[in-house]
Structure formats: C-alpha cells, structure tokens
Amino acid sequence: MGLDFILDPNNVILWMVLGFGFYMAWSIGANDAANAMGTSVGSGAISFKEAVIIAVVFEFSGAVLAGASVTDTMRRGIIDPALFENAQLIGSSETDVIFMLGMVAALTAAALWIHVAATFGWPVSTTHSLVGAITGFGLITVGVSHIEWGTLAMIASSWIISPIMGGILAFLLYSLIRKYIFDADDPVESVKRWSPVLIGPVIFVLILVIVYKGLPGVDLEGYGIGHLEILAGAVVLSGLISAVASRFIRKIEPPGEDEERTAYIAKVERVFRYLQIVTACFVAFAHGSNDVANAIGPVAAVVETWNTGQVAQQAPVPLWVLLLGGLGIAIGLATYGYKVIQTIGTKITDLTPSRGFAAEFGGASTILGASQLGMPISTTHTIVGAVMGVGFARGMNALNLDMLWKIFKSWVYTIPVAAVLTIVLFLTYRFLWDLLIFPL
C-alpha cells in the first residue's frame, strides 16, 4: 500500500469508515460489554482487572472466531438497500457515495451516543443506537415513507418487554435459591443437594445461547447439525459438566461448630461465585460474536460498495474487519468499561454472587427464548431488568429508583438522538465532500 493510495481523495471514505468503525467497536466495549461483566464485578465474584482479562479473551474470541461472515447492509431491516440503486438523493446521482457517507455518518453518530452514555454510566443498547442512526440516514435520503415503522415500533417495544421478561425470570430464580438454599437449616448441605439442579440447566441454556445467539457466522446445518443434534449435544454436555462440578461441590466442608451462620453463607456464595464466572464467560463470547456486527456491519457495507461501486443487499466480512471489531471491543472495555460496569454492578441494587448469578442466568434464558421466538429484545435492557428482578425480590427499598429512571430515559433518548446526530453528520460530510474532495 503506497503513499499515493493513502492520500488519494477517492479513498477518504474508506479511511473514515475504518476509523469510525473502530471507534464504534470501542464504544460497544465501553458500554455493552458490561452486560457480561457488570454483575460479576458488582457482586465481588471477580475484580475489574480479572473482568478485563476474561472479556478480552472471550469477547475477542467470539468476535473473530464466530462473528458473522456475511452481514446485512441495513441492520434490522429498517431500510431496504435496494432503494439506493435508482434514487436521486440530495440532488446527486452518486448513490454509492451517498450510501457510503451515510454509513459513516451512522457509525459516527451511534458511537458518539454510546460514548456519551458510557460517560454517564448509562447502559444503552448498541443495536438500538445503530438502528436509530440508520433511521436518521433513511429520513434524510429515501424519505419517511420508506422507513419500516412497524419494525421500528417492535424494536422500541423492547424497552418494556426486555426488562420485564429478564426481571421476572431473575426474580423467580433468586426467590427459589433463597428459599431452598439460604433459608434452609443447613445451607451448605442444601447447595450440595441442589447443585445438579442448578448447574445442569445453566450449562444447557448457555450452550444454546452460544449456538443460537453467538454463532451467526457458522453454518451448522452445512455440517449436518440440526436442532435435534444441538439439543441432544447440549443435554449430554450439560449433564457431564453438572456431574463433575457436583462432585467437587460435595467435597465442601461445613463450617465448624464454633463458627457463626455467616460462615455457611460465605461457603454457599463461593459456589455461586464460580457459577457466575462461567456464566460471564459464555455471555461474553456470545456478545462478542453477535454484537460485533453493530460495528463491522457498516464497515463491511462500505468496503463492499467501495470495491464494487454498487450498493449491496449483504456484504461479506473479511477477517481483518472482524479483527478490527474484536480489538476495538476489547480495548473499549479495558479503558472505559468501568463506568457502566459500576452502574450495573453497584448502582441498581446490592449484588452478591448468588444474586449476580440469578441475574445473569435469568438474562441469558430470556435472550435465548426471545431469539427463538423472533422477538426483538435488547441484551442490555434484559440484563438491567434481571438485576432489577433480584433487587425486587428483596423489596422495593433494595432498588435505586433514581438510577433506574435515568437508565430508562437514556433508552428512550437512544433512537431519536442517534437519528438526529446522523442527519447532522451526514449533511456535514456531504457538504465537505463536495467542497473539499470533489468540488462541483
């Protein structure tokens, strides 16, 4: 790659999308990666440093090894890319340039909003941020009538559906844990007895989350692996892991006679600490493989359009683009993720390993069920709702209602703010392109 290539005005859009694509991935790591690590850090199961190490390994691995090999040009079907093929946009017939500038503007706007939200510690949906950005791009180009408002309404409905579903499951799970383990006469013996019932379903659900939510780039059917084979494999693997883990749990020695009851609680919480770490690893891998598309989707779309000169319905994702996205997510979490992790882990309700485990498992189960039903829910909203659920299990006084109100308002702001930012940035980029790059 020579200096002439780097300085060529025709390649400006390419450098812009690579830079802002990395910034988007960084923002995702700073905000969204807290979904996997927030409860683990907040409960004291792991330190922030350990969370960064785990997240870097699993988020990056998920993004690179299992990220989508082909991505939709327009996330969530808000706009049909075919509209750009013959449309006269903003007084110009250069639809490929308009499309690429629009994708750059959408990336910039979404990343800026996610960054601002992370600065205030607000856990917002990166998918919704990009959806709002693309909606803004559509409004300023193809017009109001070509926006899929029904799809947008379904996405907006997840502001209510996601936290309620996640909250209910986490509430029920933590209530059962408290009743049958912590309130038992001997919590240590109780956790030994119930460990297979806890571990087996957890591993089963997490395996299915990885397969159905975390492997968008792997064609399992091409290898002759269908739903029955997946379910059978998940049952066998979860059963084996549960059996092995239960043997270790049964070796836990009860506290001595002279120790207080809090010693029993500490030993039980230690079991949930390890369960929570395992859950966090699975969720981090699934998040990296699935949500990396929010950063690399527009990048891949611009690269494909830049190479072919035509707006494509779908775009192949080169390995180097996956590496760019995975690296950005990992660096974002390591350098700026502590703010949202602090919000999820400590500012909604007090968490312990058992409560954090209930929240993570409740959230993962909700995500799995919704993905199978085709419901457009947000991972971020689901995890926040799950944390609310375990707090509500101890009464309304256990919840920080002021923080929850701030979080909910940030969810409502996400789509319109990202849309308006995109419109402003697109018009700015378009003006500068005509003025500085190819003056008319």
User: How many Å apart are CA 133 and CA 102, to the nearest integer?
Assistant: 9
The pLDDT score that the predictor gives to residue 385 is 93
User: By C-alpha distance, which of 117, 110, 112 is closest to 34?
Assistant: 117
Chain-centre distance for alpha carbon 260? 41
CA angle at 237 for the pair 231 and 239, rounded to the nearest 5°:
100
Backbone angles phi, psi at 422, to 5 degrees: -65, -45
Which H/E stretch holds residue 419?
Answer: helix 401-432
Distances (CA, A) of 324 to 23, 75, 303: 10, 19, 13
3-state DSSP assignment of residue 92:
strand
The per-residue DSSP string of 11-28 comes to GHHHHHHHHHHHHHHHHH
SS3 163: helix
Q: What is the structure's pLDDT at 404?
A: 93
Q: What is the pLDDT of residue 440?
A: 43
Closest to 421 in 3D by CA, of 115, 133, 70: 133
Q: Give the pair of three-digit tokens for residue 92.
A: 């110009």
- Per-residue DSSP letters for 335-383? HHTHHHHHIIIIISS---HHHHHHHHHHHHHHHHHHHHHT----HHHHH
Q: Which helix (H) or strand (E) holds 316?
A: strand 314-316
What is the pLDDT, as a whole number, of residue 26? 93
- At residue 352, the pLDDT reads 92
Alpha-carbon span 401 to 193, nearest angstrom:
36
The Cα–Cα gap between 232 and 230 comes to 6
Task: Phi first, then psi: give them for residue 314, nearest 5 degrees.
Answer: -130, 160
Rounded-to-integer distance, Cα 311 and Cα 97, Å: 9
Backbone torsions φ then ψ of 365, nearest 5 degrees? -65, -40
Q: Are 70 and 314 in contact (CB under 8 A)?
A: yes
CB atoms within 10 A of CB 307: 12
**Buried b / exposed e across 336-352, counting CB within 10 Å, b at 16+?**
bbbbbbbbbbbbbbebb
Spatial contact of 67 and 285, defined as CB atoms under 8 Å apart: no
Question: pLDDT 10s digit of each residue in the chain, 440 long?
Answer: 455 555 565 678 888 888 999 999 999 889 987 777 888 899 998 888 888 888 888 888 877 776 665 555 455 567 776 676 554 444 444 677 888 888 899 999 999 999 999 999 999 988 889 889 989 988 888 888 878 888 788 877 877 888 998 899 999 999 999 999 888 888 888 888 888 788 888 888 888 877 877 665 566 666 677 878 888 888 999 889 888 888 888 877 776 666 668 777 888 888 888 888 888 887 788 777 777 777 788 888 888 887 777 776 677 777 888 888 888 888 998 899 999 999 999 999 999 999 999 998 888 888 777 777 766 678 888 899 999 999 999 888 999 999 999 999 999 999 999 999 999 999 999 888 877 665 54
Q: What is the pLDDT of residue 110?
A: 94
CA distance 110 to 23: 10
d(CA 389, CA 191): 22
pTM, 2 dp:
0.86
